[in-house]
Every structure is written in C-alpha cells, then in structure tokens.
C-alpha cells in the first residue's frame, strides 16, 4: 500500500499526451496529405489560355472581343 502511494505522488505532476493524442495528430497529418494530393489533381485540370504570337488570347473568348456596331 505504501509503494502505491509513493507512485501516485511521483507521477502526479507529470502530464503525458498518450496514444490517443498521437493517433489524432497522425490522422490529421494523413488527411492533410490526401487533401494536398486532391488539390494538386484539381489544379492540374485547370486549363490556362495561352497567348498567341501577337500576344492576343481572345480567340476562344467571344465575351472578350469588342462588339462591332454598324
């Protein structure tokens, strides 16, 4: 009984994170890796219009061309 009381007194001031906290942090890190992979895949799907030799990139965008009035 006395040994148990001594152990309680010596471990009372220590705080340990434990396995649950480690598993939560590891799960968050794993989720972050998958989110970054998904983001890179989505960004690579974006098509950026390339400029012509003249520097004009309005060929595929009818809204960008000026309207002609008669």
**SS3 sequence of 11-26:** HCCCCCCHHHHHHHHH
In a domain, 25, yes or no: yes
In a domain, 35, yes or no: yes
In a domain, 24, yes or no: yes
In a domain, 28, yes or no: yes
Average pLDDT over the chain reads 77
pTM score over 0.75: no
In a domain, 3, yes or no: no
In a domain, 61, yes or no: no
Q: What is the pLDDT of residues 42-56, one digit of tens each?
A: 999 999 888 776 666
Domain tally for the chain?
Answer: 1
In a domain, 19, yes or no: yes
Using a pLDDT cut of 90, give the percent of the chain over it: 41
Cα–Cα dist 54/63, whole Å: 19
pLDDT of 40 over the 90 cut: yes
Question: Could you list the residue range(s) of the whole structural domain that residue 28 is in?
Answer: 14-41
In a domain, 22, yes or no: yes
């Amino acid at each position: 009984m006395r040994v148990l009381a001594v152990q309680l007194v010596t471990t009372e001031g220590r705080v340990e994170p434990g396995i649950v906290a480690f598993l939560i942090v590891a799960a968050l890190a794993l989720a972050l890796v998958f989110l970054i992979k998904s983001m890179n895949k989505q960004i690579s799907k974006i098509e950026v219009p390339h400029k012509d030799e003249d520097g004009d990139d309005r060929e595929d965008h009818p809204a960008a061309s000026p309207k002609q009035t008669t």
